[in-house]
Amino acid sequence: MPAPTTNADQSDATTTDAAPLVRTVGDRRTLEFTPGDIQSEMLLSRPHALVLDYARAMMGFALVNPDPRHIVMVGLGGGSLVKFCHRCFPRARITVLEVRADVIALRDVFLVPPDDARLRVLHVDAADYLAHNRNDADVLLSDGFDSAGLPSALSSRAFYADCRRALRPGGIMVANIFTYDPDYAGALQRLNDAFDGQVIWPRAVAGNNRILFARRPGPAPERTRRMLTRPGLARPGAFGWGWSNRLLVRALLVWLASRAV
């Protein structure tokens, strides 16, 4: 029998969204902002595993930079990306930017580790934070949504320009955008403009989620230069085929898990 639904206390006066919903059914625990619309999913038996395809695909940045020093995340959600990165990138600092206090309050429910020397979860507006930080991140994961979808503040021309400046030269931004979002084409164009057209995405790896990789120009290690000159990756736009991209993501996750602490 499904466990009762939990409504997190609405404690963030900056948002008018309804309280997030936590549902537990058997081994599966989900976070939803709108009933039935899953934002994050965790297996209780394997809390560090990435369950949803889009989250797995976002780890593709490790093909270019497998050893980042600082990972910045926009949006905590159920903490899937945080837990995986904290475990599989043991030398990286991780900073999470989350505007909703009621989402942060659920970190223990989703077994997100406590803050320590490597991990900080900040209750801040991500757009404001990134506007005041420069050359600070090797990887920037943008996965912030509310009940209406991708907020305009997290897909504006100014936001993407600030994301570029927040990255160190050679840094990678990974953006998750729904292909059915009414502003998808506009958001893609603004991201493309901010990164001088250096935006690529793998075909058919995450359903309606389009996972976009944008790189700030700058010096890069030899491994990174080799990856970026591979056929398909060297040209902006979509690359690969669905079956080959899914196999690549699966192999990458196995390799990253082998490094887990």
Which of these, 42, 13, 40, 10, lies nearest to 25 by C-alpha position?
A: 42
Beta strands in 67-221 (DSSP E): 70-74, 93-98, 119-123, 137-142, 167-178, 199-202, 209-215
For 48, the enclosing helix (H) or strand (E) is: none
Decide if 102 is catalytic.
no
The dihedral region occupied by 196, where left means phi > 0, alpha psi between -120 and 50, and beta the remainder, is: left
User: d(Cα 37, Cα 107) in Å, to the nearest integer?
Assistant: 19
- Helices 242-257 and 80-88 cross at an angle (nearest 10°) of 60
Residue that has been written with the tokens 């009414």 in this structure? 182
User: d(Cα 97, Cα 104) in Å, to the nearest integer?
Assistant: 10
Give the Å distances, CA to CA, from 165 to 74, 130, 194, 228: 15, 8, 10, 21
For 6, the enclosing helix (H) or strand (E) is: strand 6-7
User: d(Cα 108, Cα 41) in Å, to the nearest integer?
Assistant: 14
By CB atoms closer than 10 A (0-12, 13-18, 19+), residue 49 is middle
Contact by Cβ (8 Å): 72, 97: yes
Active-site residue (options: 136, 143, 146, 162): 143
Residues labelled as active-site residues: 143
